[in-house]
Structure 1
C-alpha cells in the first residue's frame, strides 16, 4: 500500500516562507531599495494549472526563489519530492505515473515471490551506499547564483592551462582519471570545511561498481528504463531506488525486463513526454564515452579535456547527449574547449542543467549564425559571439532578480558592446529590465528551446516604474 506522509514539516515551512516573503522596509524612509530580495511566489505565477496538481500529487503553492531558480515541493504517495527548477518539476511530474506503478509492483506479493531472494542484504547495502552517499547531503549554494558571483568568475581564461597542468601532473602520479577544479570553485560556500572522504566513498563505491559489473546490473537497469520510457540516470531518488531494486531482481533471478514489469500491465513506454536519447538505453558507460568522445572531438581541440569531462559525475550521459545535440546544431567556429571548461566547473545537477540549457537556448534562437559564430565564456556565463561581434547571452533561469552580483556581472568590461541581447528562460523583475535597458541590452523573456517546459501563460512582465 502506498504511503502518504503527514506533512507537518511542510506546514511549518509554508508559515516560515510566508514570513520571509513579507516586504522588507527600506534602510531610510522614502528611499527605494536598490536591489531585489529573492521572493516567495505563488506556484500559479510560474507554471500552468496542469502542473499544480493531478492524480497522485499536489504542489506546494508557495515557491521559494533561490539563486534565480524556483524550488518546488511535491507531495506524492511515494513521499515528498523536491524540484529545484521549473524544468525539474515537469520531469518529476512526468515520471510520476511510472514511479507509482513501480511502487505498486514492488510491494506486491507476486513480485516478492518472483524476485525470491535476489534482493539480498549485500546487494542492498552496496546499492544504498552508491545511491545515498553522505556527500549528496552536504549543503550546496542554492540555484545557479554562483554563475554571477565575482569570485567564481575570476579565473577566466586561466582555467584550461590550470586544468591541463594539474591533470598531467596527477596523470604521471598514477591517477587514471584526473580532475582539476574549475572556475566555480572559489565561490563555493564553506570551501575550507570539506570533511575527509568516508570509507565508503572509495572502497564502497568501487566494490559497488565491480559487483554491478559482474551482475550485468547496468544492462538490466537500462533495459528496464527503456521499457518504461524513463532516464536510467534520473536524479529522482524514489524512481532511482525502484529501478535499482528491479535491476537487482532481474539480474539475480535471471528475469527479463518484460517478466519483471509484468505486474505493471505491459511493457510499452509509459513516460512518453520525457526527452531521452535512445543511446543511453542501448549503450553501456564505456561505449557511450567512446561515442561521445568522438563527437565532442569535432568541436573541441583538447583531447585530454574531453576525456576529463566525460569522466566527471556531474554531467550524466543524458546531459552529454543534450550538449552534443546543441553543438551539432550550432557548429561553432571556436569555443568548444571553453564550453567544456565551464561545464567541468559545475558541481550539482542544477548547475549542469544551466550549462546544458544555455546551449539549448542558443541552438534554438533563429538569429544565431550557425557555423560562423563562436562560443565564449564571459566570466562564468556562456555566450554566442556572431561574426559581426554582437553577443547573445542565454540565461536559463526561472526568475532573475537584480542583486549586487547580477549588477556587477552585467557591468563587466566584456559587455561594453553596442549590440547585445539577453535570452531569459523565465521572468525578470522590473529592476532587471530597467538595469539592462540602461546598459544597452536587448531582452527576450520566456525564451524557449524545443521541449522546454511550459510556464504560466499569465506571467506577463510587470510594467516598469
Structure 2
C-alpha cells in the first residue's frame, strides 16, 4: 500500500512495530520540562512482540543491514489482548502484516468468510460488524421479515408499473446523431421523455421510496453501532437488502440483544462512543447534506472556501471519516493553522487508510487539547504538519498502531531535530501516538532528546 508523505516522513520516524512501554496507561499528562519531570517507578511491562518468521528480503533485508528492527510481520497473539484473538464468530490469524506502522489483520469467520482489517480500530470495527451480521440474520429468519419481503416486492412492482412510456418522434422525423440531430432541434421542443404528469408522479414515488430506504439504513446502523459507509462489502450487501425491505414495506424490526460473547463487551469498551455531534450528522443526514454541513463548519473554523470545498470533495474521505475529522477540528477551535491540516489531508489522501490516519490523528490532537495540552497553532516544516504549544515546545501527534525503529523512523527523527520555532530550537519535542512503541524505538527516540508518549488510544493491543 502506498504510504503518503505525512505518514512516511513524520510517522516514518515511528513506523512499524509493537508493544512494550515503560509508562502507565491513562490520561496523557500535560507537558513538563525535563528538569521538573517527576520520577516514575518502573511499571510492569507487557511481553515484547516477537516478529513472525519471514524470509529476509526487501525492507527486512535493508533493516538487517542498517541495524534497524525487522518487523515486517508480527505475532497477533503477542500484539493483541487475548479477548480479541478469537470469539464465537471469528478468529484472528497469527501473522499480522506491518505496513509502515499500520497493523493489517486477517479475520476468519466460520459463518461469514474472511475479512481484512487495516489497523487496530478497523479490527474492532470488523468484530462489531460480525456481531451485527448475526443480529440481522436472526431477524431475516422470522415470519415478520418474510412477510415484509413480500410486501416490499409488491410495492416495488407497483412503482415499476407506474413508470410512464417514453415518448419520441418517429424514426423518420428524428435523426439519431450528428449534425442532423443538431439541426432537427431548431424551432422544436425536445419531445423525447416522459409525459409530464406521469413523470412527476413516478419521480415523486421513487424519490420518497429512495429516501425511506436510505433513512432505514442509517437508522439500522445507528442501532447496530455501525459505520454506514463501511468498506466491508458483505456487510453493505446485508444492510442494503434489509433496508430496502424496510423502506419499500414501510416497516421496522426489533433487533435482538447483542451477543453474550465477552468479546462484544470488550470491543464496546475499547471503541469508545461516537461523539453526539458526529452521530447526529452521519445517522441523521445523507451524504450531500453531510458534505455541505462539514464544508460550512470548516469555513466557520477559519478554513478558506477553496480548501474546505477541496477537502469535502476528496473521494478518500467517506462521509464517516470526513465527519470524524471535522468534528475533531471543531474541538480544536481556537488553534490557529487548522487550514494547514485540512489542506494537507485533502492533498495527500488518496485511499481510505489515508483518511483513517488523518481522522484519527485529528481526534488525538483534540483529545490532547482536552487534557490541557496548550496547543497554540499547527505549522508546517518541510511540508509536514506539527503542533506548537504556547511555550514554544513542539507536539507531534500521530495515529500509529505500532512504532518500531526503522530507516524511516531514523529519517523522521532527523526531520524533528531540524525543527525551529520562532527561529529557535524548541526546548521540548513530544511525540504522542495512538498505539504502542517497541523498546528499541523508545530508546532511540529518547536518546535523541524526544519525549515519547504511546498508548493514547491503543484499542485492542496489549
One fold, TM greater than 0.5? yes
1:389-432 per-position Cα deviation (integer Å, ceiling 9, x unaligned): 21100122111222222222221233654310111222223442
Aligned residue runs from structure 1 range 321-332, under 5 A: 321-332=323-334
Instruction: Tell me the distance in 2 between the aligned counterparts of 1:358 and 1:447.
Output: 11
Partner of 2:446: 437
Instruction: Tell me the distance in 2 between the aligned counterparts of 1:356 and 1:68.
Output: 16
Which of 65, 73, 94 is matched with 2:98 structurally?
65
Partner of 2:289: 287
Instruction: Tell me the distance in 1 between the aligned counterparts of 2:323 and 2:455.
Output: 24
Instruction: Tell me the distance in 2 between the aligned counterparts of 1:266 and 1:71.
Output: 30
User: How far off its partner does 1:441 sit?
Assistant: 1.0
Residues 238 and 107 from structure 1, CA distance in 2 versus in 1: closer, same or farther, beyond 3 angstroms? farther
Instruction: Tell me the distance in 1 between the aligned counterparts of 2:460 and 2:59.
Output: 34
Residues 26 and 283 from structure 1, CA distance in 2 versus in 1: closer, same or farther, beyond 3 angstroms? closer
Q: State whether structure 2 residue 73 is matched by structure 1 residue 40.
A: yes
**Is the contact between residue 72 and residue 89 of structure 1 (CA under 8 Å) also seen in structure 2?**
yes
**Is the contact between residue 383 and residue 393 of structure 1 (CA under 8 Å) also seen in structure 2?**
yes
**Is the contact between residue 21 and residue 39 of structure 1 (CA under 8 Å) also seen in structure 2?**
no
Aligned residue runs from structure 1 range 119-198, under 5 A: none
Instruction: Tell me the distance in 1 between the aligned counterparts of 2:383 and 2:236.
Output: 31
1:105-155 per-position Cα deviation (integer Å, ceiling 9, x unaligned): 4466764453138579x99xxxxxxxxxxxxxxxxxxxxxxxxxxxxxxxx
Secondary structure of 2:308's counterpart equals helix
User: How far off its partner does 1:83 sit?
Assistant: 0.8
What are structure 1's unaligned runs of at least 5 residues? 1-16, 124-210, 457-465
Residues 55 and 266 from structure 1, CA distance in 2 versus in 1: closer, same or farther, beyond 3 angstroms? closer
**Is the contact between residue 47 and residue 86 of structure 1 (CA under 8 Å) also seen in structure 2?**
no
Aligned residue runs from structure 1 range 222-371, under 5 A: 222-253=218-249, 255-256=250-251, 258=252, 261-262=253-254, 264-265=255-256, 273=268, 275-276=273-274, 277-344=279-346, 345-365=348-368, 366-370=371-375
Instruction: Tell me the distance in 2 between the aligned counterparts of 1:38 and 1:213.
Output: 53
More displaced 10-residue stretch of structure 1: 108-117 or 374-383? 108-117
1:160-203 per-position Cα deviation (integer Å, ceiling 9, x unaligned): xxxxxxxxxxxxxxxxxxxxxxxxxxxxxxxxxxxxxxxxxxxx
| Structure with max Cα Rg | 2
Residues 420 and 367 from structure 1, CA distance in 2 versus in 1: closer, same or farther, beyond 3 angstroms? farther
Residues 32 and 228 from structure 1, CA distance in 2 versus in 1: closer, same or farther, beyond 3 angstroms? closer
Q: State whether structure 2 residue 459 is matched by structure 1 residue 453.
A: yes
**Is the contact between residue 396 and residue 431 of structure 2 (CA under 8 Å) also seen in structure 1?**
yes
**Is the contact between residue 383 and residue 391 of structure 1 (CA under 8 Å) also seen in structure 2?**
yes
- Measured on the aligned residues, the alpha-carbon RMSD in Å equals 3.5
User: How far off its partner does 1:26 sit?
Assistant: 10
Residues 80 and 375 from structure 1, CA distance in 2 versus in 1: closer, same or farther, beyond 3 angstroms? same
Q: State whether structure 2 residue 396 is matched by structure 1 residue 393.
A: yes
**Is the contact between residue 334 and residue 375 of structure 1 (CA under 8 Å) also seen in structure 2?**
yes
**Is the contact between residue 35 and residue 431 of structure 1 (CA under 8 Å) also seen in structure 2?**
no
**Is the contact between residue 148 and residue 246 of structure 2 (CA under 8 Å) also seen in structure 1?**
no
Partner of 1:5: none
Residues 24 and 409 from structure 1, CA distance in 2 versus in 1: closer, same or farther, beyond 3 angstroms? closer
Instruction: Tell me the distance in 2 between the aligned counterparts of 1:411 and 1:69.
Output: 21
User: How far off its partner does 1:25 sit?
Assistant: 13
Partner of 1:80: 114
Secondary structure of 1:20's counterpart equals coil
**Is the contact between residue 418 and residue 440 of structure 1 (CA under 8 Å) also seen in structure 2?**
no
**Is the contact between residue 78 and residue 103 of structure 1 (CA under 8 Å) also seen in structure 2?**
no
**Is the contact between residue 355 and residue 382 of structure 1 (CA under 8 Å) also seen in structure 2?**
no
Which of 121, 124, 130 is matched with 1:96 structurally?
130
Residues 23 and 94 from structure 1, CA distance in 2 versus in 1: closer, same or farther, beyond 3 angstroms? same
Instruction: Tell me the distance in 2 between the aligned counterparts of 1:213 and 1:21.
Output: 58
User: How far off its partner does 1:242 sit?
Assistant: 0.9
**Is the contact between residue 387 and residue 395 of structure 2 (CA under 8 Å) also seen in structure 1?**
yes
Residues 332 and 438 from structure 1, CA distance in 2 versus in 1: closer, same or farther, beyond 3 angstroms? farther
**Is the contact between residue 64 and residue 72 of structure 1 (CA under 8 Å) also seen in structure 2?**
yes
